[in-house]
Amino acid sequence: MKSAISLSLATALLLATSGCNKRVETAADTNAIADSIKAQEAQWEKDYASKDVSALAGHYADDAVLGSPGEPLAASDVDRRKSLIAMVSDPNLNLTFAPDQVEVAQSGDLAYTRGHYSMQMTDKATKQPVKSDGTYLTVYKKQSDGSWKAIEDFIIPGPAPAAAK
């Protein structure tokens, strides 16, 4: 009788555990992702310098939102491209930016950068070049092909904060 009970318990335990799908979660290499996003933002800055609208638009996911000062939110590819074309068509455009902070979710599917920028553009009222500085916040999402695309990109004028220590 004891062996029958032991055998029944062992069988029940085996059946109970064999039906479980044990997922082994692999921690994302957040440092590698952060380095990749920093490199992507360096390329993004080069794309602004070359005034390549297609390359600039390629940094955004299909459903991304671009928020620029004084402009309506650009939430479609058409609207983002219009905004980008307006920027790169300005003969006085000179834009530099760099992340001060890059954070990656442990899940490895979302990240954000917060950084500073310095930009020169033509003032619409005076038609003179004007320089502005500020902060930006960009949220990235890992795409199905493994690439990282901006899903939210907001530009905040004003004095750029001191870089994090």
Least confident among 3-17, 18-32, 37-51, 136-150: 3-17
Instruction: Output 161 or 29, whichever has higher pLDDT.
Output: 29
Domains in the chain with CATH codes: 29-157 (3.10.450.50)
Q: Which helix (H) or strand (E) holds 33?
A: helix 30-50
Which residue matches tokens 């800055």?
45
Instruction: Determine the Cα–Cα distance for residues 82 and 101; give it in Å rounded to an integer.
Output: 29
Average of per-residue pLDDT values in the chain? 87
Task: Give me the sign of the Cα torsion angle 90, 91, 92, 97.
Answer: positive
At residue 9, the 3 state secondary structure works out as: helix
**Please, which pLDDT band fits residue 28 given cuts at 50, 70 and 90?**
confident
Cβ atoms 57, 81 nearer than 8 A: yes
Reduce the DSSP state of residue 112 to 3 states and report it: strand
Cβ 69 vs Cβ 157: under 8 Å: yes
CA neighbor of 112 nearest in space, from 76, 151, 147? 151
Contact 68, 93 (CB under 8 A): no
74-104, pLDDT tens digit by residue?
999 999 999 999 999 999 999 999 999 999 9
Q: Strand pairing partners for 139?
A: 112, 152
State the pTM of this model: 0.80
Position 26 scores a pLDDT of: 60
Burial of 84 (0-12, 13-18, 19+ CB in 10 A): buried
3-state secondary structure of 165: coil
63 CB neighbour count, 10 Å cutoff: 11
